[in-house]
Copies of this chain bind each other. A is one copy, B any other.
Amino acid sequence: MEKSKQVLLAHGSGGKLSQELVRNMFVGELANEALCRMDDSACLDAGDGRLAFTTDSYVVSPIFFPGGNIGKLAVCGTVNDLSTSGATPKYLSLAMIIEEGLPFEDLSRVVQSIKATAEEAGVCIVTGDTKVVNRGKADKLFINTAGIGVVPRGVNISGVNAKPGDIVMLSGSIGDHGMAIMAQREGFTFSVPVESDCAPLNGLVAEMMKVSSNIHVLRDPTRGGLASTLNEIAAQSGVGIEIEESKVPVKDAVRSACELLGFDPLYVANEGKMIAIVAREDADKVLAALRNHRYGIDAAVIGEITAEHKNRVVLRTALGARRIVDMLSGELLPRIC
């Protein structure tokens, strides 16, 4: 593909072009140790303690969808990115860009969800900002949250830490969030309705950390889906990842919706799932801890880290074939989160 001189929608897909833009334009130019790690949250020294710091903007359309809304999403997404470094999420900022004309009723419902979700996650919204732009210059509501968490001493969880032999597990089924947004946006009704999995996963991560100090990587497979996120980790750690297709949980309703619409669930966004890469000896304990939590009941081991095919993700299909699973290329579903 020829290099575009303009930003394309695919530059926000969470896939290849996203990564290229972020690497070349932002991380490349603004380089420093924390940023260049390219983890979901930056770990920072703050005198005596270590902090995690992360940010996401939320531009999902529509702003209300089955299983949540942009407000719930804005809390969960940032809490989850903090959780990926093993941090205890503490403080959030809340910045709203509102399109002129947004009904107060909608704004109020969003704020109620923010409140409820922040309470569930045990985080405090301590600072904020509110901008309003003219009609037609934004789309209803964009939210940015940044988050600060505290990383307990001795904890070192990062995308660079996957080691050959490690076990790859997933906290539950994939594709729910993406297909729920898709259905809502396009007005599809499936025989079994699909709901977003949007959830704050800090409690789940805390349970895992209680039973193991050998969790090497945590990562939430959001834009770009499981396939893109595993590719990111493979590249960060310089390892191979082998996944067994039949072990990746996908709900029937999501699978049929994906088939109908021609999506591969491996590339569909999730907002309440965690990938955990764990030392082999602790895998059973961690899996049990996951399954014991309301957000991890469908958790499964889905594969392992290999020394072979470095930087690549390989899928073993049900029929025993192996295929390389690349990052998402192009844009699958714009404005999914």
Q: A residues near B, CB below 8 A?
A: 4-13, 18, 21-22, 25-27, 29-30, 32, 34-35, 41-42, 44, 46-49, 51, 53-59, 61, 90-91, 93-105, 107-108, 111-112, 114-115, 118, 124-134, 136-139, 142, 144, 146, 148, 150, 334-335
* Bound Cα distance A27, B93 (Å): 12
- Checking B127, B129, B136, B138 against A53 with a beta-carbon cut-off of 8 angstroms, the contacting residue is B127
Of all chain B residues, the one with the shortest Cβ separation from A40 is B127
- Checking B26, B125, B138, B144 against A138 with a beta-carbon cut-off of 8 angstroms, the contacting residue is B138
Q: Is there an interface contact between A98 and B12, defined as CB atoms closer than 8 Å?
A: yes
Number of copies of this chain that the complex holds: 2
Of all chain B residues, the one with the shortest Cβ separation from A81 is B127
Which residues of the partner chain B approach A142 to less than 8 Å between Cβ atoms?
Answer: 57, 97, 138, 142
List 15 A-B residue pairs with CB atoms under 8 Å apart, sorted by A's residue number. Answer: A7-B101, A12-B130, A21-B130, A29-B111, A30-B125, A44-B126, A46-B49, A47-B48, A51-B148, A54-B127, A57-B142, A59-B131, A95-B146, A97-B142, A133-B335
**Given known A55-B93, A55-B146, A95-B55, contact A130–B22 (CB-CB < 8 A):** yes
Between A111, A128, A334, the greatest number of chain B beta carbons within 10 A of the residue's beta carbon is seen for A128
Contacts beyond the supplied A9-B134, A35-B124, A134-B334: 13 A-B pairs with Cβ under 8 Å: A4-B104, A7-B98, A12-B131, A18-B130, A22-B128, A29-B115, A46-B46, A46-B90, A46-B148, A53-B126, A54-B127, A61-B137, A97-B142
**Given known A55-B95, A132-B11, A146-B55, contact A32–B127 (CB-CB < 8 A):** no
- Checking B44, B96, B108, B127 against A35 with a beta-carbon cut-off of 8 angstroms, the contacting residue is B127
